[in-house]
């Protein structure tokens, strides 16, 4: 399968290229950001060795849909989608934190809680909760925005302000936007028979204006449960049926890999890679209510490069 696991384009006006775990972001004259959403997949802050077919297209198209659906809450960076795997947007200076919001005790928050912690990022958690149980109200648990190769670290709102990572005025807005975006995402998910469990948002600034940047409500940044049967599974102690990247983490953990030093990424068979691709497409169709149309990937790198160049030429 012709996947994109790396790009190294050279566009007119290009000042820099940032390679994240999944996205390659091209800075055009400090005015535009061209984000190529690759087919790379990461878990435990490690990029796995094989690309996942159509993953970049899934992430990019879901993010574009939700950026449009939430633009009345907070302005966002998106200007255009010139290719199924590409978003072009405003060049923003990102905040040094990621805003994570959790509606349920799941994933890393459950693992932390299960080890005895009763506070996450300065937010107290009551005793006696079960895995996948809803919090009385969603909690915001920020992390630092790690530099390339480093791990994101949990941090409290108090510590963010103390370290001067974000001003108090801006942090109040980030917290407000995070809660409102999560509420909107939860409402849209409910209409589609899903529960938005937790997610992360990133924000940046142009001058004094805050923008929502990067992706939103994708399976890489969010976790979804199926609403139907949620309570029955909860009552009987079954695992929840979920649409997220968590099944990849669970597969890795089952093979003894958690991204720790000296651990080797297990072999990813073609069957496993294709099953991950199918799960991403399943989420796209469930959350969007639309059929996923696979783009032509016969010469995917050239397709992406040509579509970006055409857009930049037209919008000089």
pTM of the shown model? 0.91
Token code pair at residue 144: 């630092």
- Same-domain pairing of 210 and 148: yes
- Same-domain pairing of 21 and 126: no
As a whole number of angstroms, the distance between CA 218 and CA 212 comes to 14
Those residues with Cβ within 8 angstroms of residue 156's Cβ, 6 or more apart along the chain or in another chain? 121, 122, 123, 142
User: Would 127 be classed as within a structural domain?
Assistant: yes
**Among 8, 10, 11, which Cα is nearest to 19's?**
8
Phi, psi of 239 (to 5 degrees): -70, 145
Token code pair at residue 41: 């997949």
- Same-domain pairing of 48 and 129: no
What value does the mean pLDDT of the chain take? 94
Mean pLDDT of all residues in 304-309: 98
Which of 228, 243, 258 lies at the terminal end of a domain, its last residue? 243
**Among 209, 174, 248, which Cα is nearest to 91's?**
209
pLDDT at 45: 85
The CATH number for 198's domain is 3.30.470.20
- Identify the bridge partners of residue 88 per DSSP, sorted by sequence position: 34, 80
- Same-domain pairing of 204 and 179: yes
As a whole number of angstroms, the distance between CA 106 and CA 122 comes to 17
pLDDT in tens, 141-179: 999 986 655 567 999 999 999 999 999 999 999 999 999
Is residue 110 within 8 A of residue 130, CB to CB? The reply is no
Identify the band that residue 294 occupies on the pLDDT scale cut at 50, 70 and 90.
very high
The CATH number for 52's domain is 3.30.200.20
What's the Rg (C-alpha) of the chain?
Answer: 19
- Same-domain pairing of 101 and 62: no
DSSP alpha helix (H) spans, the chain: 55-69, 108-114, 157-162, 168-191, 230-236, 246-254, 270-288, 300-314
Task: Work out the widest C-alpha separation in the chain, in whole angstroms.
Answer: 59
pLDDT at 149: 53
Percent of the chain residues topping a pLDDT of 70: 98
pLDDT in tens, 42-67: 998 899 999 999 999 999 999 999 99
- Same-domain pairing of 222 and 83: no
User: Would 6 be classed as within a structural domain?
Assistant: no
Which of 193, 228, 243 lies at the terminal end of a domain, its last residue? 243
- Identify the bridge partners of residue 223 per DSSP, sorted by sequence position: 198
pLDDT at 244: 75
pLDDT at 1: 60
Q: What is the dihedral of CA 201, 202, 208, 209, to 10 degrees?
A: -50
- Same-domain pairing of 47 and 168: no
Please state the domain count of the chain.
2
pLDDT in tens, 232-256: 999 999 999 887 787 898 899 999 9
User: Would 74 be classed as within a structural domain?
Assistant: yes
The domain of 305 spans 14-92+267-314
pLDDT in tens, 265-284: 999 999 999 999 998 998 89
Residue with tokens 């992406």: 304
pLDDT exceeds 80 at position 22? yes
User: Would 54 be classed as within a structural domain?
Assistant: yes
User: Would 261 be classed as within a structural domain?
Assistant: no
Is residue 121 within 8 A of residue 155, CB to CB? The reply is yes
pLDDT in tens, 176-216: 999 999 999 999 999 999 999 999 999 999 999 999 999 99
- Same-domain pairing of 83 and 115: no
pLDDT in tens, 8-18: 999 999 999 99
pLDDT at 315: 86
pLDDT at 220: 85
pLDDT at 246: 78
**Among 26, 23, 55, which Cα is nearest to 39's?**
55
User: Would 206 be classed as within a structural domain?
Assistant: yes
User: Would 257 be classed as within a structural domain?
Assistant: no
- Same-domain pairing of 127 and 78: no
Q: Residues of 131-165 as b/e, b for ≥16 C-beta within 10 angstroms? A: bbebbeebbbbbbbeeeeeeeeebbebebbeeeeb
Token code pair at residue 238: 């079954």
- Same-domain pairing of 66 and 202: no
pLDDT exceeds 80 at position 24? yes
- Same-domain pairing of 99 and 68: no
pLDDT exceeds 90 at position 127? yes
- Same-domain pairing of 217 and 303: no
Is residue 38 within 8 A of residue 5, CB to CB? The reply is yes
**Among 41, 165, 32, 163, which Cα is nearest to 98's?**
165
């Amino acid at each position: 399968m012709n996947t994109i696991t790396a790009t190294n384009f050279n566009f007119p006006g290009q000042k820099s290229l940032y390679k994240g775990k999944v996205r390659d972001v091209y800075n055009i004259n400090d005015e535009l950001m061209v984000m190529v959403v690759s087919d790379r997949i990461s878990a435990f802050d490690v990029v796995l060795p094989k690309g996942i077919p159509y993953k970049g297209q899934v992430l990019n198209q879901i993010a574009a849909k939700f950026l449009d659906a939430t633009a009345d809450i907070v302005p966002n960076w998106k200007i255009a989608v010139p290719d199924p795997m590409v978003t072009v947007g405003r060049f923003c200076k990102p905040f040094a934190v990621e805003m994570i919001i959790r509606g349920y005790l799941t994933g890393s928050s459950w693992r932390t809680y299960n080890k005895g912690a009763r506070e996450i990022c300065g937010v107290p958690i009551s005793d006696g909760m079960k895995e996948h149980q809803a919090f009385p109200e969603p909690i915001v648990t920020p992390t630092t925005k790690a530099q390339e190769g480093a791990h994101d670290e949990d941090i409290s709102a108090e510590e963010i302000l103390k370290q001067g990572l974000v001003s108090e005025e801006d942090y109040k807005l980030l917290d407000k936007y995070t809660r409102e975006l999560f509420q909107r995402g939860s409402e849209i998910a409910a209409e589609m028979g899903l529960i938005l469990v937790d997610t992360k948002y990133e924000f940046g600034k142009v001058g004094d204006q805050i923008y929502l940047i990067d992706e939103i409500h994708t399976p890489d940044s969010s976790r979804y449960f199926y609403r139907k049967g949620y309570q029955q599974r909860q009552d009987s102690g079954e695992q929840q049926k979920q649409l997220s990247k968590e099944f990849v983490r669970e597969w890795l953990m089952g093979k003894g890999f958690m991204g720790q030093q000296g651990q080797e990424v297990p072999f990813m068979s073609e069957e496993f890679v294709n099953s991950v691709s199918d799960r991403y497409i399943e989420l796209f169709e469930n959350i969007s209510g639309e059929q996923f149309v696979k783009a032509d990937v016969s010469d995917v790198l050239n397709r992406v490069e040509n579509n970006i160049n055409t857009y930049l030429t037209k919008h000089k």
